Amino acid sequence: MRAFLLQAGGELTLVDTLFEDDGAGVLEAIRKLGRSPRDLKRIVLTHAHRSHLGGLAALKRETGATVLAHEWEADIVAGERAAQSVGLKPTRPFRTYPFQVGIFLGRPKHEPCPIDESVADGATAGPLEVLHLPGHSPGHLGFHWAERGLVIAGDAIATWPRFEAGWPAFNLNLEQHRESVRRLAGLDAQIVGVGHGEPITKAATDRVRALVV
Ligand SMILES: [Zn+2]
Ligand SMILES: [Zn+2]
């Protein structure tokens, strides 16, 4: 799983918070930059799946950061609604199956954390432009830092266990998902960060375009 810690104009912005409950990995990354937890101004969530928000409540307490997500995901983040089930039918690649079972069972639960602001397509979050990229989940977001050529695709694209347009079993709405991938393919990207697997750092725009069907 991946989270992204970005530094711009002296402020830190975090995209997603990983699986662990205590946010320790993110706090260590902040300290390694020579910054303190209070320098984290905002936490933006791609979507409300467990492996993207495990550390959220702990990081909110430690940093006081503003928490942002799409409004469709907000009550899942706040613990008021379960994430939409993806079913139990085993689907390739099978290494993603434990995540599928986790969502089906709603386990492990994350510590609830209310969001502070909902964000929609076209909003800005620090240096990032917010992209609404539904399909994997209805309120799934991606982010674009145009000046740095950085695109964060969340779970719209996966590079683990293989490179593809998201994990097939998890794409709730295929038509929306295809449109979201088309939209990502239209961005000029040097680096594409994804929720699961290594970021794409070579020929990133061409590789995303190859996923368009
Ligand atoms: Zn997901
Ligand atoms: Zn994920």
- Reading phi first (left if > 0) and then psi (alpha if -120 to 50, else beta), residue 101 is in alpha
List 158's β-bridge partners, or say none. 164
Measured from the alpha carbon of residue 86, the closest ligand is 1
pLDDT confidence of residue 106: 85
Query: Measured in angstroms, how far is the CA atom of residue 47 from the centroid of ligand 1?
Result: 7
Six token digits for residue 93: 């690649």
Query: Measured in angstroms, how far is the CA atom of residue 137 from the centroid of ligand 1?
Result: 7
Sequence spans of domains, the chain = 4-108+117-209
pLDDT in tens, the chain (213 residues): 999 999 999 999 999 999 999 999 999 999 999 999 999 999 999 999 999 999 999 999 999 999 999 999 999 999 999 988 888 888 899 999 999 888 888 888 999 999 999 999 999 999 999 999 999 999 999 999 999 999 999 999 999 999 999 999 999 999 999 999 999 999 999 999 999 999 999 999 999 999 999
Query: Measured in angstroms, how far is the CA atom of residue 202 from the centroid of ligand 2?
Result: 22
List alpha helices for 11-162, DSSP H. Answer: 24-32, 50-53, 56-63, 71-77, 97-105
pLDDT confidence of residue 108: 87
pLDDT confidence of residue 105: 86
Residues with CB under 5 A from ligand 2 (ion): 49, 155, 195
**For residue 35, what are the CA distances in angstroms to 15, 25, 27, 30?**
17, 14, 10, 6
Query: Measured in angstroms, how far is the CA atom of residue 158 from the centroid of ligand 2?
Result: 9
The architecture in CATH of the region 4-108+117-209 reads 4-Layer Sandwich (3.60)
